[in-house]
Chain A
Amino acid sequence: MRSSFSTVDTTQLLKGVLDLAVLAVLKDEDGYGYDILRRLRTAGLDEVGDASVYGTLRRLFQAGLLTTYVVPSEEGPHRKYYGLNAAGRDQLNRAGKTWRTFASTMDGLLDERGVAA
Chain B
Amino acid sequence: MNVTTEQEAYLEAVRRALADLDPAVRDELLEDLPEHFAEVAAEGDATLVERLGPPEAYAAELRTAAGLGVVTTPTARGFDDRIAAVVRRARGVVGAADRKTGPLLGYGRASEFLRMLTPAWWVLRGYLAAMAITWMTSNGNEAGLLPRLGGSTLAATLLLAVCLVGSIWLGRREPTLSSTPRTGLAIGGVALVLFGLVVFDKADTYGGGWDQPQSVSGNPYEYIQDVYVYDSNGNPLTDVSLYDQGGNPIQLGDPYRCQEAFYQAQAGAPMYPYCPNQRPYVVAPRAGQVEEPQAEPTEVAPTVDPSETPPPPTTTPTPTPTGTN
Contact = CB atoms under 8 A, between A and B. Distances in A.
Interface of A: 18, 32-34, 49-59, 62, 73, 76-80
Nearest to B64: A55
Contact of A59 (B31, B34, B52, B65): B65
Given A34-B35, A80-B35, A55 B29 contact: yes
Given A51-B59, A58-B29, A34 B65 contact: no
Contacts of B64: 52, 55
Q: What 4 A-B pairs have minimum CB-CB distances, sorted nearest first?
A: A55-B65, A51-B61, A55-B66, A34-B39
Contacts of B58: 50-51
Interface residues of B, number: 22
A18 B64 CA distance: 12
Main secondary structure of the interface of B (DSSP, over half): helix
Main secondary structure of the interface of A (DSSP, over half): helix
A114 B58 CA distance: 40
A43 to B, nearest CB: 18
A93 to B, nearest CB: 22
B36 A33 contact: yes
Contact of A34 (B28, B36, B52, B61): B36
A52 to B, nearest CB: 4
Contact of B35 (A52, A53, A56, A77): A77
13 contacts: A34-B36, A34-B40, A50-B40, A50-B58, A51-B62, A51-B65, A52-B65, A53-B65, A55-B65, A56-B66, A59-B66, A76-B42, A78-B35
B210 to A, nearest CB: 55
Contacts of B29: 54-55, 58
A50 B62 CA distance: 8
B73 to A, nearest CB: 16
B308 interface: no
Nearest to B60: A51
